[in-house]
Structure 1
């Protein structure tokens, strides 16, 4: 049985946020010094600390959840194994069990919702499986209370910075969770009001987002209209399945609805800010990968999960062009992009029979160039194993059969974040 190792306080460039005596809590120092940046790879580090520091350094659920995440990170890095589950360690499990009481509250506070986000991150750091859906429901409930009876655009622009951050993160988790659960995103109604290029005033391909407070790019590295299109694609998959089950699927309607989304997913020239930082570059590349991978997903919904459909092959090749781009940049950019876009790696890997592409995807998920203690933290290893399972099954069937990637993903309960 492994135990959490004793951590030495780690210096970091944000001492202005450290309270006197903070070094007495090694796990909190580790969270602030190292883990927070890994948790939010594409967000501005200083801004995230400004938002989250007051919550995670005061008594409450979010502080306990941050310490849990730091303990999971420490255990995974110490054991250096993709198969190791830190949340099964006795000391870590005690910390998690203490937080379970939060789920039993009649209503949730901002601090509870922030704790839920860090607990979901703990599952992600620990391989991506586990009981993350329970905590996602908590964040749904809190965010719904923020939006209830209000224009979500107005609510998001005028709430506290911490609440705004929680809302955006919950929406992002919701959109990607829908791929795994194969249900429509719970916040689809709000996503349409906030980010649909058809109904909102947010999207203009020639202009930046109307308000930075509404932008998903600065936190998740995905442009608003791509978040919307990915959410709508999952809803379309549910719509298709329901009509297939009733024997009433209209192929023309399916194609029309998919084309409506696809027209918003054509590539546009990216415009990085002057003197772009590594984070700016990583966000831009991640958004391009999400855009192209959403086309792969959408085309599989229309044509079925057949790797030899020309449109699916074309969309995978487009995605892979962007996947290869981070290697031209620093290791930091490369690692941030790979870790942030595992959805794309999974969908492309699952829907190709090309052995060269499979090998390339697998190697990139290995996070070559990272220290072993770092590369074993996260869900890339679990995604590699899912792809190997799909590929092994695929070898036993003819090319004309569909890939059961949806069943594999749902059964694994893997969150592709």
Structure 2
């Protein structure tokens, strides 16, 4: 996204600009102090009041407010980092402080840091497997991943499985930073000795205090299913434009099962339906992955979709689809006035700033680059002050 701030001045630019940055944790209460902006900019309160200081956020939601009497920035609305930025880091708010007489512009950045305010959560409280007693040692069974919106050490760190009499747990790092979780059979099942068994899968984060989520796994031992499905690729890659219509075919996947009859029938599912990405795509019985909702390049440039292939005996395999979203030029530049002088004296000196405005086009690369022009025969000039 390209955002440009402009000054209109007579012939040349002469506005003093400072830059201030703050770092605050998410979930601060309304009215909490962010920083003493007047002091940090080296301005006294008289200048702040006489210059009619105000805060300009453009089209962004305003979470921060300016107290001109004290010259400080305060929390206007409680900030949820996960709702604001999801997994994007760093997560920051960008805005400007403007003063009049003379006109001045001061960019301000407030970084929002993560706190451990979310526990790992499984979509379901339990998972049921029906596994043949002939399943070979080493057979793998895909488990649902937990979701933790926190990032870094506050995010999901590890899984544990108990008891481990017949099964052990293995996790594999994924390209999007998550972990694929598999339950591996390490001891042959015997239906005559134990037809049913229960296990607890626990997801743990690394925050302080540590938070966890659990899911119960019930296993019923059946008779004979010798082969698990196998995807043709461990990772599929696809591309789609952001203006694609609902129902567009994204990619076709395939898994094979060496068993015959009903045991060789494979069903495809999108993994972890708690992830918002899973609401945008669905997969048919034939392995066609279909777009099922609107996508916007400016909000999400790449999707990581987990899929599973499951046979009638409960054996499964997993794969990942990486979907790149292509940008189209679907946004027009917008011009927003930040501040302007009521009048310009005829003896104003060259260099006098008379207006501040912001120009924004959220499209990417060349599609988001904006050129600004002013009448050639005008006694005014236009200057870029930041990008």
Q: TM-score range by the shorter chain?
A: under 0.3
Between Structure 1 and Structure 2, the one with more strand by share is 2
Higher helix content, 1 or 2: 1
Q: TM-score by structure 2 length?
A: 0.24
Work out which of the two has the higher radius of gyration on C-alpha atoms and give 1 or 2: 2
Which is bigger in relative contact order (C-alpha 8 A, separation at least 6)? 2
